Structure 1
Amino acid sequence: MSAPAVPGLEPAFDVEALLGPLEDHGVTRAGHRRVVPIIGGRVTGLFDAHVLPGGADWQVVRPDGAIEIDTRYSARTDDGAYIYLRTFGVRSGSPEVLAALLRGDPVDPSEYYFRLGVQLETSDPRLAGLEHSIYVASAIRDADRVRYTAYRVT
């Protein structure tokens, strides 16, 4: 009996998502809810596209300070194809590092953990193959943007 293949990672695409001001909704029944608007950006790699304004990251800050990430946003290629992107993940670190990130201070990415699962959806037949893979990403939070490299799980 053969064993399943050990997954590998291959670089797939880079995302730079520009962010609007954080909206702190306070403590709701789901937890401490924050919403961060996505106002633009760029995707490069397996496909090139502009991130469209109108998406957001619907965060929940857990009691331990870690932040559950839940983004949904759209991108459009220069020739008009739409790609819907959804990420889910976690950003965690020491209270001091998380407070610095919240203030917009520069923080070395090695000081915190920020990982994502990425799902893609499109109706464009030329890009449909993107939907047949699983992607994971390592992300960086800057004062006014999030940057990540997504890897296709082989």
Structure 2
Amino acid sequence: MPVPDAPTLTYRFTIVAEVGEYLKLHQDAARMLELIPITGGTISGDLTGSVVPGGGDWCSTLADGSYEVEARYVFQTDDGALVDVVNTGILRHLGDQKGPPSEMGYFLTTPTFRTVAPDLQWLTRSLFLGKARTAPGATTIDIFEVSP
């Protein structure tokens, strides 16, 4: 059986989400849940703008040291359009790597976008993949559009 062609990825834009202090919400033997407030940030690339303060990332630290993330926030383009973002993902070490989240080699997300802006409807009609990285005070996500 032949191997099917893989979809292609096209870089579209980068989100830099500035974050505040982590707030512990829950902990049991399987996981710890924290809320990471999103306090602002920037959008650059095919879209430019800023992240609206007030969103958050509900981050679960699992017993094996990996993380599940679920972020919800809004950004506003430079021309005033608002875009709602729901971004879920996985953050983990590769192989037998060790170290803090900023050194984890696997941080991929699946963002979805909603907007009423006519010129941005392409955001609501495609699938996207985010390649993310963490640093003190911010998470950066490069957004790629998935094409057949």
The equivalent of 2:69 in structure 1 is: 69
Once the two structures are superposed, what CA deviation does each residue of 1:14-50 show, in whole Å capped at 9, x if it has no partner? 1111000011123169841111000000111222121
The equivalent of 1:147 in structure 2 is: 140
The equivalent of 1:97 in structure 2 is: 99
Separation of aligned partners in 1, 2:46 and 2:140: 16
4 and 122 in structure 1: CA distance in 2 versus 1, 3 angstrom threshold:
farther
> Contact 1:97–1:112 at 8 Å: present in 2 too?
no
Please report the RMSD computed on the Cα atoms of aligned residues, expressed in angstroms: 2.2
Separation of aligned partners in 1, 2:109 and 2:32: 20
Shift of 1:5: 5.2
The equivalent of 2:39 in structure 1 is: 39
Structure 2 gaps of 5+ residues are none
Shift of 1:4: 6.6
1:112 corresponds to 2:114: no
The equivalent of 2:59 in structure 1 is: 59
**Shift >3 Å, 4+ stretches:** 28-31
> Contact 1:49–1:75 at 8 Å: present in 2 too?
yes
Question: Which structure's residues are more often helix, by fraction?
Answer: 1
**Number of residue-to-residue matches in the alignment:** 143
Question: Which structure's residues are more often strand, by fraction?
Answer: 2
Once the two structures are superposed, what CA deviation does each residue of 1:53-102 show, in whole Å capped at 9, x if it has no partner? 0001001111111110100000112222100111111111268513xx4x
The equivalent of 2:79 in structure 1 is: 79
The sequence identity of aligned pairs, in percent, is 27
> Contact 2:55–2:74 at 8 Å: present in 1 too?
yes
Separation of aligned partners in 1, 2:12 and 2:133: 17
Structure 1 gaps of 5+ residues are 102-106
Which secondary structure does the structure 2 equivalent of 1:126 belong to?
A: helix
TM-score (norm 2): 0.87
The equivalent of 1:104 in structure 2 is: none
Which secondary structure does the structure 2 equivalent of 1:52 belong to?
A: strand
